[in-house]
Amino acid sequence: MAIRPFTTLRHAITALLLLAGVLVGTEFWMRTRNVPSLAVVTCQATESEQCLLAPSAVTHHELRRSTTTDFLPCGQKTSVTVRVNSLGCRGGEVEESAKIGTRRILLLGDDTICGATVAENETVAAWLKKFLTKSVSGEFEIINGGVPGYCPLLSALQFENDLAKLKPDIVILHVDMTDIADDSRYRSLLLHDGDHAVCTHASFRIPPKPGNSVLNIVKQSAAASWLFAMTRQHGPELLSVSDAGSTGDVGLNWIADNPPDLRLQTRHALQPIRDLRDTVARSGGQLLVTTSPVLWQILPAKEAPTLSRHCGIKGATPFSSQFPFEVLASFCQESSIEFCDASPAFRRDDAVKLFSKEAPVLSKIGMALYAREIARSLIENPQFSSQIKM
């Protein structure tokens, strides 16, 4: 049989053109979808939240300022619109001084406070305003300063460098069960400059490498970003490797019934709360520390098997240990800081509705419950009565 080189070449060229057409078509189609960013700003936030974040020279990372983003949270079918103002807070712009007669409350914390998985009117901040307005006469301005992946260290830096000028009457800091691990991740990046400290993102410390045109094309490709994100998300599970130990074996171990000795890490993670207390006092406000449980402190791991594997949850669940809540209560008492433990309110028959199964945060129902408990604490606590009941 005679070999026809031109026919073979023509078939090869046709195949290459078809492949190129498929790749171009896929690229255009995926650019119309919400594709996870190829760049990981922080491993302490979910894949979908990376597009909301930007590196920071002061607080490691922050919400992208002055932006409005429609993005699809992991595991959800509908997108969420996230507005971020020029101060890096979720929501509309905020005047530097509150209106006369308006009580200004600032919320700080991580994903639970930011509420990127829910609409703006379903966040803890929005619900808190509704509950306070319903219970107490007068005007309230609630500012949502939550940022995915934050811990007390970053929240304290955020307030000192950006938000203290707002002079809130009350600052509420949410301490999350993941904050011990988060602090372990960021503390190595902390730099001290006299009396001030900054937590500089690694991208500001590493000199940029000479540009590579091929690599830049790959980085800007939606298809490559999707493939890389899926590999990063599912690779550890396929290899039976948990990333729970990536933060120095801290993870969520401290909430377990038989936790390892993490006294040093816990002390480091909580110390910035005292710094925040002092900074808030200098700005004329009062600090309230609050906390809520994660799923495994209330429900068995089988309620969220994929998330449980990803977070490296081991042993019988739900965990019965009250150690984390007792540590926080004791720390706040010793530091003369008011504390609200909302965990008892989460122990109810329909608790499964209160938690997300995609990330260790509350669901929108859980956020509403948490806001109700915070509002109750503010109203009933004599320390805040003068600020709340004008």
Tens digit of pLDDT for each residue in 94-121? 999 999 999 999 999 999 999 999 999 9
Residue appearing with tokens 């002079």: 167
Q: What is the pLDDT of residue 256?
A: 94
Residue 54 DSSP SS3:
strand
Nearest to 149 by CA among 201, 199, 109: 109
Of 100-109, 238-247, 323-332, the poorest mean pLDDT is in 238-247
Q: Are 102 and 140 in contact (CB under 8 A)?
A: yes
> Would you say the pTM of this structure is higher than 0.75?
yes
Kindly give the interhelix angle for 124-135 and 364-380, rounded to the nearest 10 degrees.
Answer: 40
Residue appearing with tokens 């009396």: 195
The token duo for 207 is 């000199």
What is the residue-wise DSSP string for 161-219?
Answer: IIIGGG--SEEEEEEPTTHHHHHHHHGGGEEEETTEEEE--GGGTSPPPPP-HHHHHHH
Peptide bond into 210 cis (omega under 30): no
Q: What is the pLDDT of residue 293?
A: 98
Q: What is the pLDDT of residue 222?
A: 56
Tens digit of pLDDT for each residue in 364-382? 999 999 999 999 999 999 9
Nearest to 304 by CA among 375, 363, 222: 363
Q: What is the mean pLDDT of residues 202-218?
A: 64
Residue 127 identity (one-letter amino acid) = W
Tens digit of pLDDT for each residue in 249-289? 578 999 999 999 999 999 999 999 999 999 999 999 999 99
Q: What are phi and psi of 71, to 5 degrees?
A: -135, 160
What is the residue-wise DSSP string for 287-350?
Answer: EEEEE---GGGTS-GGGSHHHHHHTT--SSSS----HHHHHHHHHHHHTT-EEEE-GGGG-STT
Q: What is the pLDDT of residue 131?
A: 97
The token duo for 9 is 């070449």
Of 39-43, 113-117, 307-311, the poorest mean pLDDT is in 39-43
